[in-house]
A and B are shown apart, each in its own frame.
Chain A
């Protein structure tokens, strides 16, 4: 045992020394492993930051909420997508109103439209909001509470606003800070694409989610939104429905009922597929997890290939190192090194090369991934499990690719090896 401990310590010292002597060659081999490992770690870091934000999002979402939309809002299918998506009919305002009248198990149903952050012009007097993408929402008073916005000034959108299609707006905190830095925005007028809206409410700041500010938003009544921005055929424009069951326990019954009623509204014959999409928050989360799962497999493949190439590089450098050191091996054997000693010497070297490469890769990958995360507005994260896997992978790579050179070295004949020049 003492011999083995001694031997390992000396082998490591010797290996580090040997590396010092062949910096360039060793660095080039390290590079392969470093690239492979750092790409895994960088991507896993970014993914981990998203997962962290995402679980934040998940904990914000109510579990008794479900959606009816034209299509799955998170599209992840590779290759064969949902080809029927374009042929599906829009969810319309009148369908919303019919649904609202018929549902019994649903506590509340809201219609909403959310535009991707757009660059509509927003101005107050001559003051224009520049360089800020603002999301536009059309909705009712409940949309804000469902999305956990808190009103800190003024009032919410009321049923009257919806019925009368009044031009009123709720504004996020970013908008207030930029356009009304020193005054109370409530009661003032804001122009959206030159249409005047009266500001009725101010929302508390919510911060960022997935790298986007959630406070650069303006919410107006859904009816006003459709009429003002929905174009000429706004009655046929696509909207999204948010439904809320009494509790988590009744969500299944509520979704079943909603499906049945909506099929009846659309007169879908029995046996035919739904031509709309319905999902609970939890199902939406599932889609996200499925997506990260695919991504992990893909990254694994890419990294696997790059590590395979790097591994062949290790085998190669070990064989080069072997031919350069045939004489040394012969001398060591003459001085009493057994096969196992030479075998371990080479194997430990191969493992060290790949582990050193791996550690550099981990450091680079963590830095790179967290820089990306920083620019996406995420908190820094260290995906410890992947750091651990990477070191494991590197050590086993060293063993696998160092095995052949190590066996070859250990089987050298001392007499012939010492004569080798």
Chain B
């Protein structure tokens, strides 16, 4: 790992423990990982291995039971709900398997949603949303609703939404899981381009072919990182 790169995420001995009745479930068990600028990481592992929990943790959707999580040197593990929301809003771009677009809003309005939660004026918001949509090549679909778009197009809207706040990292959870293979490859090619453009990408997947595209591979098993190369 080239140490000259800036460290974005540093997780030190992170554990997430659930109590289900009398059972204690360790979704994450003493996990440590550092993620640097312009990394392209794949997170793999069988279901139940803790990769979703790790993903939620990185995405500041969840807080660890134990351990220290720093994002750009800010201590995430001690932030309150509102501070976490700000980190999610400004630093992280989410891409989901099921797209998670708001069905009643047009592409443009969907992309605009994260900007609504940051302090940005209406004209700036529109301008940035239009920019983001043109990056994913959907300038001609701005006024379409998700139901009027193909699966690949929907995922591109979601990527535009992830990019619109110029986040430090892009977190993608099985981004091609709901797409046909052609659209899937299209999206993955696009991720390659984003990486080349300097973005930091983390993709959760169980597909070997996707993992091979990433520059760094992290595998989880039983809540522990077993591979990081």
Contact = CB atoms under 8 A, between A and B. Distances in A.
Interface string A1-13: 0110011011000
Nearest to B164: A335
B85 A328 contact: no
A251 B117 CA distance: 72
A341 B117 contact: yes
A31 interface: no
B122 interface: yes
B100 A331 contact: yes
A3 B81 contact: no
A337 interface: yes
A418 to B, nearest CB: 6
B102 interface: yes
Interface residues on A, range: 20 to 34
B1 interface: no
Given A331-B100, A334-B59, A336-B114, A6 B121 contact: yes
Given A331-B100, A415-B56, A338 B121 contact: no
B100 A338 contact: no
Given A3-B118, A6-B122, A332 B81 contact: no
A331 B122 CA distance: 21
B62 A336 contact: no
Contacts of A330: 100
A7 B88 contact: no
Contacts of B118: 3, 336
Contacts of A418: 96, 100
B17 interface: no
Nearest to B103: A328
A207 to B, nearest CB: 57
B175 to A, nearest CB: 15
A9 to B, nearest CB: 8
Contacts of A3: 117-119
Contacts of A328: 102
A415 B117 contact: no
A25 B194 CA distance: 44
A338 B82 contact: yes
Interface in A294-342: 327-328, 330-341
Nearest to A4: B119
A17 interface: yes
A335 B113 contact: yes
B82 to A, nearest CB: 5
Nearest to B99: A331
B113 A332 contact: yes
Contacts of B122: 6, 9
A340 B85 CA distance: 11
A327 B100 contact: yes
A335 B81 contact: no
Nearest to A341: B117
A414 B119 contact: no
Interface in A1-52: 2-3, 6-7, 9-10, 17-18, 21
B89 interface: yes
B116 interface: yes
A7 B96 CA distance: 25
B96 A21 contact: no
Interface string B76-100: 0000011001101110001010001
A336 B61 contact: no
A2 B119 contact: yes
Interface in B118-166: 118-122, 161, 165
B104 interface: yes
Interface in B51-88: 56, 59, 61-62, 81-82, 85-86, 88
Contacts of B89: 335-337
A17 B145 CA distance: 13
A3 B117 CA distance: 7
Given A336-B86, A415-B62, 13 more contacts: A3-B117, A6-B122, A7-B116, A7-B117, A333-B61, A335-B88, A335-B94, A336-B85, A336-B114, A338-B86, A339-B85, A414-B61, A415-B61
Interface of B: 56, 59, 61-62, 81-82, 85-86, 88-90, 94, 96, 100, 102, 104-105, 113-114, 116-122, 161, 165
Interface of A: 2-3, 6-7, 9-10, 17-18, 21, 327-328, 330-341, 414-415, 418
Which 7 residue pairs across A and B have the least CB separation, nearest first?
A: A336-B89, A336-B117, A338-B85, A3-B119, A335-B114, A331-B100, A338-B82
